[in-house]
Structure 1
Amino acid sequence: MNTADTAPDLQAPDIRSLESAYRGRSARVAVIGLGYVGLPLALALTGAGFAVTGFDIDPAKAAALNGGRSYIRQIADGRIAEAVATGRFRATTDADEFAACDAVIVCVPTPLSPQREPDLSFVEASTRLIRDRLRPGQLVVLESTTWPGTTDEVMRPILEETGLASGRDFFLAYSPEREDPGNISFTTSTIPKVVGGDDEGARRLAVALYEQVVPQVVPVSGTRAAEATKLTENIFRSVNIALVNELKIVFEPMGIDIWEVIEAAKTKPFGFMPFYPGPGLGGHCIPIDPFYLTWKAREYQISTRFIELAGEVNTMMPRHVVDRLALALDRRAGIGLSRSRILLVGMAYKKNVDDSRESPGLRLMEMLLERGAAVEYHDPFIPVLPVTREHAALAGRTSIAWEPETLAGFDAAVIVTDHDGVDYRSLAAHCPLVVDTRNAMQTVEGIEGFADRIVKA
């Protein structure tokens, strides 16, 4: 690694020639982190004609990809095999290959610590890997969601430990990921890309790169504006979901169905956007991202009360579901949770995906177990619960078979995730009580005959 006092006197890279390499798609691109964000991006870059080196610290992932196999349900084996067959895509665990790449894009997790503070350890570790191989002319782009200032306050100082300077020797940019797993209408290659550079040269290069991959690139003034854009998008969703969750709680004792109200309200062609209640937030974005901004705001002595209140409302929803379940069991069967057998239907954080990160189902299972209930789950996309930092004790539990006699053995079922393809009518026909947190039963044919078994929560 070069240091500041030994860095060679190098001629500044030519922006125009670098830009031309991206527009001509002759540049080689590295993608660090081959998960739900990095792998789709790597495939999109390959499909656009770039030579792509995919990097992951997990040797099993690299071996699977090089063998044409996918470990993400939404990405078919055929897409991987096709990318490998072109000769333009290869996965590796060898960070030394970054040195041969013209651009390095970082797509690693940015979780919260147990104290709900940003954990940038993956970003920092990735940046150090790049630093040790950094060369003049390279473009480094962060896509991981984070607080405004991460790119220039965390990444740039680490990279400049080489003695190379951002904007003179290498180029640094931020472009937030906008993946929506399970969404068949929008993919990596069809979603507009926001781009902010550490300087004008970095922005030009990042725009030149992403314009070859997506239909629209939206340049902004700098990396902080780009970082703030991603947080704003997810805070918007968090706040509006909290609003309808609170309205659900308000309307319930009034005998008003929040789902009916939303369906009626969304017929207004202006001034209203439908959001839907649920058992709590899940996934790698909405439950986490707002707290990145609340943490950063404290540096400026600013209280983000509105954002934090939305977080409180959404966080309390699993408890609301448990309370509704306990009340329904008491009224309909005369039993308490401690003597009941409960089935959770769906453990993924959203429908039709195999991702249980931050799923409210995990918290619901823990709460029910704490209350003494016997709890099982069924999820066609998650056969085994993975190891997680906050719910380690649940790891290894397996999804039960969906059979009439099995369903009949539970005192109640809670629909946590409304996967398509689940036989909800069979659930209502065989399980004596169904607590529906997703309005999944509403459109099931013939469900009217079992209305007395269904409780919305």
Structure 2
Amino acid sequence: MTGAATTSNPLDAASRVGRLLARIADRTAVIGVMGLGYVGLPLAKLLCSKGFVVYGFDTDPAKVEQLRAHHSYICHLRLDQLWAAEAAGRFVPTAEPERLAEIDAVLICVPTPLDRHHQPDLTFVERTVEQVADRMRPGTRVILESTTYPGTCRDVVKPILERDGRCSGQDFFLAYSPEREDPGNRDFVTATIPKVVGGDGEIASRLACALYGAIVETVVPVGSNEIAEAVKITENIFRAVNIALVNELKVIYDAMGIDVWHVIAAASTKPFGYMPFQPGPGLGGHCIPIDPFYLTWKAREFGVRTRFIELAGEINSDMPRRVLERLTAGIDTVHRRGLRDSAILVVGLAYKRNVDDIRESPALRLIELLDRAGARVDYFDPLVPEIPPTREHGSLQGRRSVPWPGEGLSRYHAALIVTDHDGIDYAGLVSACPLVVDTRNVCERHGLTAPHIVKA
């Protein structure tokens, strides 16, 4: 189905804007959320809780069926409000793009990964926008939330929507509002995190601000989509660079016999001019390991080098190898043997504490490195019972978490703590396992100290 040309005159557009604002105010606007993952599902939940009718679109029929069966596939996300909305007919999970013709505003929350050459892969965005373009009705607000490089709305999204003679600012209203989800963070939820909003023109910005103003506490309008796109990528690069810095300091201070976690704790007492970041086994999640490369790629178009950003990426990418070196040295010291045929328990597979998200998790890279070294590797993660399909680590698909070994921990030559989930018996781990390599300083946080605990 291809949309016909619908270009309107300015008076028609002005009248349409008034009606759209009124539909937001009285909650009669129908909102579509495309992509029901870690960003889209909390957003759909919030919209429903504020009284909107929400169509949740996802290309994975299994997700749609789980939602219809009132089952959450994201462990940390409570969806009672969403189930109530679904029962009342105000939340409609669907894999049918034809239903886009029924909505007033569409929020696009689809993945923006890298390809195997570390270049932006906007396939999901492009396919989704094409589905919208084929079915949207006059006056539809199209808002991209997926993280991307500055210029994506202008150069990729807008041309698709303007085909068949449509005009941005009259026939549809294009905006960008970057997602700021922090899965598992109980202190900040979707409704309380300030929402940055840019638009393709003043009207698009005003409409998008009105929609988000109806569901979140604070809206931060900026002058363009490009500024809003740059805000998100700047936030994530800031984190990537500072994590790289403390990771490098960890290596330096370790060589000097200095505990970097003690240094960070003491430095954090300074009330100005310092912000603590924590070292770890490598970066994980969809944002921080990926987004800096989006800006690096785009900067090349302007003949600008991103040396600082690229160096941070190199440091962070190298951390799993550094961890493996510490593990190897520890096994040699304790057991007088190498990694080959050593039994290793990887504790924690998710990329961060208390979530079930394994995207870009350094644990996956570490398991692969251990496999190549000939180790016998098990993993334990109470939130990730089985490794699902991944783009980069296909050989690990289907591996299952072992039950908590308990007294059987002594059969492992070493335990490697990669993710510091709550609820794990770290005291039992330290008591039973002859070598514990801790990449998160979780043992010390639990008051556990012993000669066979190695920080890495």
Same fold (TM over 0.5): yes
Query: Once the two structures are superposed, what CA deviation does each residue of 1:226-274 show, in whole Å capped at 9, x if it has no partner?
Result: 0000000000000000000000000002110000000000001111110
- Map 1:2-41 onto structure 2 (within 5 A): 7-8=5-6, 10-11=8-9, 12-13=12-13, 14=15, 15-41=17-43
Aligned partner of 1:88 in structure 2 is: 90
Give the C-alpha shift of residue 2 in structure 1: 5.0
Amino acid at match of 2:427: R
Aligned counterparts of 2:296 and 2:195: Cα–Cα separation in 1 = 25
Q: Contact between 1:2 and 1:163, CA under 8 Å: does it hold in 2? A: no
- Select which of 363, 369, 372 maps to 1:370: 372
For 2:148, give the aligned amino acid: T
TM-score under structure 2 normalisation? 0.97
Per-residue CA deviations over 1:147-202 (Å, capped at 9, x if unaligned) read 10111100110111131110121100000000110001111111110000011110
Task: Tell me which residue corresponds to 1:404.
Answer: 406
Are the counterparts in 2 of residues 241 and 277 from structure 1 also a CA contact under 8 Å? Answer: yes
Whole-angstrom distance in 2 between the partners of 1:35 and 1:400: 26
The 1-side partners of 2:248 and 2:417 are apart by 19
Q: Structure 1 residue aligned with 2:71, among 69, 74, 79? A: 69
The reply to whether residue 419 of structure 1 matches residue 437 of structure 2 is: no
The corresponding residue for 2:122 is: 120
Match of 1:408, SS state, is helix
Q: State the SS of the aligned residue for 2:198.
A: strand
Shift of 1:383: 0.6
- Supply the distance in 1 between the matched residues of 2:145 and 2:421 (Cα, whole angstroms): 29
Bigger shift: residues 355-364 or 71-80: 71-80
CA distance in 2, matches of 1:314, 1:284: 15
Bigger mean CA offset, 431-440 vs 163-172: 163-172
Displacement, 1:382? 0.3
Match of 1:158 among 157, 160, 172: 160
Q: CA deviation at 1:143?
A: 0.2
User: Which has the higher mean CA deviation after the structures are superposed, 406-415 or 84-93?
Assistant: 84-93
C-alpha change, 1:379 and 1:387, in structure 2 (3 Å) is same
What's the counterpart of residue 276 of structure 2? 274
For 1:114 and 1:136, the matched residues in 2 are separated by: 38
SS at match of 1:316: helix
> Which 4+ runs in 1 deviate beyond 3 A?
8-12
For residues 167 and 321 of structure 2, the distance between their equivalents in structure 1, rounded to whole angstroms, comes to 51
Which residue is equivalent to 2:454?
A: 455
Deviation, structure 1 residue 287: 0.3
1:49-198 aligned at under 5 Å gives the runs: 49-198=51-200
Q: 1:64-95 deviations in whole A, cap 9, x for unaligned? A: 21222211111235333222133211111111
CA contact (8 A) 1:69 1:80 kept: no
* CA distance in 2: counterparts of 1:138 and 1:432, whole angstroms: 62
Secondary structure at the aligned position of 2:116 is classed as coil
Relative to structure 2, which stretch is displaced further, 334-343 or 106-115?
334-343
Maintained 8 Å contact 1:174/1:223: yes
Q: For residue 249 of structure 1, give the secondary structure of its aligned residue in structure 2.
A: helix
Equivalent position SS for 1:247? helix
Pick from 243, 251, 254: which aligns with 1:252?
Answer: 254
Number of equivalent positions: 452
User: Which SS does the other structure have where 1:339 is aligned?
Assistant: coil
Matched with 2:305 is 303
Percent of residue pairs bearing the same amino acid type: 57
| Counterpart-to-counterpart distance in 1, 2:177 and 2:25 | 18
- Measure how far apart 1:9 and its partner are: 5.6
Tell me the CA shift for residue 38 of structure 1: 0.4
CA contact (8 A) 2:414 2:434 kept: yes
Gaps of 5+ in 2: none
SS class of match (1:337) = coil
Match of 1:440 among 436, 439, 442: 442
Report the 3-state secondary structure (helix = DSSP H, G, I; strand = E; otherwise coil) of the residue aligned with 1:418: coil
Query: How many Å separate the matches in 1 of 2:338 and 2:2?
Result: 67
Over aligned residues, Cα RMSD in angstroms? 1.2
Q: Which amino acid is 1:355 matched to? A: D
| 8 Å contact kept, 1:74–1:353 | yes
